[in-house]
Structure 1
Amino acid sequence: MSDKPFELGGVNHLALVCRDMAATVAFYEGVLGMPLIKTIELPFDLGQHFFFDCGGGDSLAFFWFPDAEEPQEGISGPGCRPDRGRLTSAIGSMNHVAFQVPPEKLEEYQAKLRAAGVETSEIANHDDSEYGLSEAWTEDTFVRSLYFQDPDGILLEFAAWTRGFGPGDTTHVPKGAVRPAP
């Protein structure tokens, strides 16, 4: 018997909203190679809901609503890569999606994305230094990242864990709300 209250097996799917389902399919299936595994026409002409296999038994899904509002930078998401501006987005927003990749493949994947016309960040080596980044992949690097955006400006990341975690990796005290909730 487990002492966990729920038997979670990972992320079934994360559902986002797109402007153009055809462009979304072309990017996620055509550029990133995620197979389209399920399509749904929503009743009453509400739109569509499509699912992509993003590996590891997980799915990434998209809704297309004909009357969806346009995104608002800094509210619905950051609106840019972290190397181009602020990473901040609103409470309850989806900031970015990170896909697990092998650490030694990041340079290759960066070249493939760029060859497909997708602008990317440089590869970031995240560590516990003052600014959280190092120029080189060292033994202190815990994750390597490559950032890019989809056709709707959704921030995506190829992320690669580079070491295991231990008790020293959870030393920060959680902070509370700076301003009271409405």
Structure 2
Amino acid sequence: MAANDRFDFQGLDHVALGCSDMKQTYDFYHGTLGMPVLHTIEYMGENAEGETVPMGQHFFFGVGGENPNAHIAFFYWKDGYQNAPKVVENRPEGVNPRAIKIAAMHHVNLRVAPERIEDCCDKLGEAGIEYRHSTRYADPEWREVRTINGYTKPEPGCLMDSVYFSDPDGVQLEVNAWLPAWDAWPNDHEPWSNESADQR
């Protein structure tokens, strides 16, 4: 097999998708298929009244193999496309900007060693490709530090170090490194059901 001597990818890390009901997705991937739940995240945001309320969930289902972090990731958003007719093509007004259509692919993730992230940023910049560098923390809630077309060194406690960019057709790609703190991230959030979303 031919080797990649530019980015030194370590294989496909994950595929991220949108779902209509996290409880239903959990029951299928974890309950039926037996995939372990590696990590869970709940996102908070402000509603129209300025109150901080639960907005979405992100579950990571392990797929096994040589990479212990390889997974299928699902996003669920209370005001996402799961609450709009499936024929809707454009994002409805008021929909969370991170929400995606059900069964639509969010992004493809390629794993690299942590020390290669800055080099990836440099190579993308040299190629004239726009990118976003992102580091994420849990201090005390989920926090993201974004750098557009640049690199910001992760601080102690960083969970994951990522670079996002798009291919010529608009497919979103992520080059990612999981850092040691990520292993301590919890996996105990209760999955939300679309049927009970209005009760939160």
Q: TM-score, normalised by structure 1?
A: 0.48
Structure with more strand by fraction:
2
Q: TM-score, normalised by structure 2?
A: 0.44
Structure with greater Cα Rg:
1
Structure number with the bigger relative contact order (C-alpha 8 A, sep ≥ 6) is 2
